[in-house]
Amino acid sequence: MRQYAVIGNPISHSKSPILHNTLFQTLKFPAFYGRYLLTKEEKLAEKIRTLRLSGANITVPFKEAAFRQCDEVRGIAKQIGSVNTIVQEDGRLIGYNTDANGFFSTLKREPRRVLILGAGGTSRAISAILNEHKIPFLVLNRSKARLESFRTLGYKTATHEEFSARFLEDEFDLVINSTSAGLDDNELPLPRELLMLLFKRGRGADAYDVIYGKQTPFLKLANELGAKISDGRMMLLEQAAIASHYFINGAESIMKIREIMLRVYSA
């Protein structure tokens, strides 16, 4: 029987095992999916091999380490610099990033201009896929340092201060919180007065938060201001469906995988 796992720290909260195990059972694919708490990032590749995993999902805080430790990185992961899915092929670790396409397939309509809050790994995935689809976006971050790698790629960026002065009048129809503000605290990703201006009635921006499992202060405020809101639940499902498509070597369509996973996800 093949073994798969989600690897991260912390990991006990992860919904990945239930999604992937349900799929394996439904498809009668002889595999089991567990979770593994890793403490030393430099041991990631070694662990995948010693645990004899056929594949793994990599979560916070090891996605960049996964990128560095794979024998080969394929697709959009090369541009993003982070890997969240690894498949063993003839003893070689092949890395993919399914967050980017997972995020994109949750969009109900194609936005015209997007404001991405945050400049971490998730922001890199979202900006790469928006860039691929030629959708204009601005990456806005609290600190300047993390914006450097985005500038190198030629992406438009701003700090909070620069934003108020230069970009506030831009018409964004989608504002995405890709920061961890609101995950374990009650913080907003951007000063309240700026968010109020972005979502003020009539401007019509939708709000999307990649955080799932709770209504963040960002989504709560956007909702109060009349914006359409979405959380990160469906993104989690979509990235898992694409990852499983790799795990089972394309034996079932992503659409069918999503349908099977959705049954336990909504339960």
Whole-angstrom Cα distance, residue 263 to residue 80? 31
Q: What is the CA radius of gyration of the chain?
A: 19
Stretch that binds ligand NDP, among 1-9, 73-81, 136-144, 220-228 (CB under 6 A): 136-144
For ligand NDP, the closer CB: 31 or 116: 116
What's the CA gap between 20 and 213, in Å, rounded?
Answer: 19
Half-sphere exposure of 237 (CA within 13 A, CB side): 21
Site for ligand NDP in 9-28 (CB under 6 A): none
CA-closest candidate to residue 36, choices 56, 19, 15, 66: 56
Q: State the SS3 of 41-77.
A: HHHHHHHHHHCCCCEEEECCCCHHHHHHHCCEECCCH
Residues 146-165: x/- map of binding to ligand NDP (CB under 6 A)? Answer: x-------------------
| In the complex, minimum distance from the CB of residue 126 to ligand NDP, in angstroms, rounded to a whole number | 9
Active site residue 214: no
Query: Is residue 210 within the footprint of ligand NDP (CB under 6 A)?
Result: yes
Least spacing, CB of residue 197 vs ligand NDP, in Å: 17
Using rule CB under 6 A, residue 209 touches ligand NDP = no
Q: Is 217 in the site for ligand NDP (CB under 6 A)?
A: no
Q: How far is the CB of 33 from ligand NDP (least distance, A)?
A: 17
Closest C-alpha to 15, from 69, 48, 57:
57
Catalytic residue among 15, 28, 40, 63: 63
How far apart are the C-alpha atoms of 72 and 178, rounded to whole Å? 27
Give the nearer residue to ligand NDP in terms of CB position, either 41 or 187.
187
C-alpha–C-alpha distance, residues 99 and 77, integer Å: 9
Binding mask 167-206 for ligand NDP (x = CB under 6 A): -----------xxxx-x---x-x-----------------
What is the b/e burial string over 37-75, where b = at least 16 CB atoms within 10 angstroms of the residue's CB?
A: ebeeeeebbeebeeeebbbbbbbeebbbbbbebbeebee
Q: Does 230 bind ligand NDP (CB under 6 A)?
A: no
143 is a site residue for ligand NDP (CB under 6 A): yes
Q: Which of 236, 243, 257, 261 touches ligand NDP by CB under 6 A?
A: 236
Is 5 or 236 the residue whose CB approaches ligand NDP more closely? Answer: 236
Q: Which residues are catalytic?
A: 63
Which positions touch ligand NDP (CB under 6 A)? Answer: 60, 99, 118-123, 141-143, 146, 178-181, 183, 187, 189, 210-212, 232, 235-236, 239
